A = this chain, B = another copy of it.
């Protein structure tokens, strides 16, 4: 039925999509025709069922086929020309890009080895017995879970977050805190409040890829600053400040994604001096900070919200399903951020904020984080050993949730990632993390999702075959 090539540089899924799309558009597949089942098309083409599902999803998204619940896929009636609903600034099909990876991570079923995921497995959160927490919350708080959440966030949670910051040495009160839907919404609100299109902002290279896409969606100019083992390259930072007069620097102080490194106190101090000298704001992304072992210095601790806007969330410790994060900043800025939040989502869901309030109270959160930290440290060691034995290299010790692996020279990493996906293994390729197009020889692994021996075996075979 389809003419597919495994040696083509076009991914298999795109070949399937394009060939089926052509058949729909030229009428060979007429409106109302039932498409082959996922299993059948996988059998016919030799592609994995994951690839076929992906292809069908893309055809549905393009309006060419329709999914009927429990009844399979059908060719859609062709849309009339000239419909007025065309989106402006359309994204190109993300194919294999950052948005697509984020979407895959958020949508994975248990069938996938999500080695490239940025989240902990949901089973880890279950050890908190979250159902018990919810049950108690509904019993004790009566109507509160069903009352609207104030746009600043639940007052009780904001008080607890202030105490949490104080325990980290950051001088904050509830008046400094605005809750957000994860750190992602904090970045979005900051972009909409602080910057104009065309403004320059500094980012880390490598760094967090979804943030890069968020900044680009706001038409900001990304200025990459190399991330070294002990923090940003300050000479490069100063040169970038002179050349670009950036408005802000987005960075992770502790357990940096993807390298796992943490900033030294000396660098923290010198970076804040540059912020003062060149007048840029520092957006400190501390989503991994709770997993840091031992004493740590955060930018907000030294700066006290003069230049620093602090953001964090519970997505890395309580899971990405809750969407509870927060910004801590100067109260004058906070007021503008709150208004933006109100005008974009009205307010956050109450239940998630109450859940975090319950978990933060009474030491439950601290014990949970201690368990997660210990378990991650053990898995890091095991995972690194397995990946090294498969042929990958590692430079720095680092810590936290990621291993930043080096693929041996001469390997086509794109092809490796594609082959992995056909074996239901989701890899995160290094180039996604580099706003300057570097890190092409890297892969990021999440040890919590990389323990299946199939992964190391696949990598060993794939690297051996390519060498």
A residues engaging B (CB < 8 A)? 60-63, 66-69, 79-80, 83-88, 90-91, 94, 99, 102-103, 105-107, 119, 122-123, 125-126, 130-131, 134-135, 138-139, 142-152, 159, 162, 173-175, 181-182, 184-185, 188, 193-196, 210, 213-214, 217, 275, 279-281, 306-307, 309, 319-323, 329-340, 342-352, 355
- The CA of A342 and the CA of B209, in the complex, are separated in Å by 12
Q: Are A194 and B346 in contact (CB under 8 A)?
A: no
* Chain B residues near A87 (CB-CB < 8 A): 193-194, 332-333, 336-337
- For the complex with contacts A86-B333, A181-B349, 18 further pairs of A-B residues with Cβ separation under 8 Å are A66-B173, A66-B175, A84-B280, A85-B332, A87-B337, A99-B343, A102-B342, A102-B346, A103-B342, A131-B135, A146-B321, A148-B321, A149-B321, A181-B346, A217-B340, A344-B344, A351-B352, A352-B352
In the A-B complex, the 4 residue pairs with the smallest Cβ-Cβ separation, listed nearest first, are A131-B138, A87-B336, A321-B350, A107-B150
Is B188 in contact with A333, judged by CB distance below 8 angstroms? no
Q: Is the CB of A348 within 8 A of B330?
A: no
A84-B280, A106-B347, A181-B349 known; A147 and B63 CB under 8 Å? Answer: no
Contacts of A152 in B (CB 8 A): 107
Interchain CA distance A84-B257 in the complex, whole Å: 27
Contact indicator B345/A322 (Cβ below 8 Å): no
Given contacts A105-B148, A196-B88, A321-B351, contact A63 B345 (CB under 8 A): no
- Residue with the highest number of chain B CB atoms closer than 10 Å, among A86, A102, A194, A349: A349
Cβ-defined contact, B349 with A323, below 8 A: yes
B329 lies within 8 A of A85 (CB)? yes
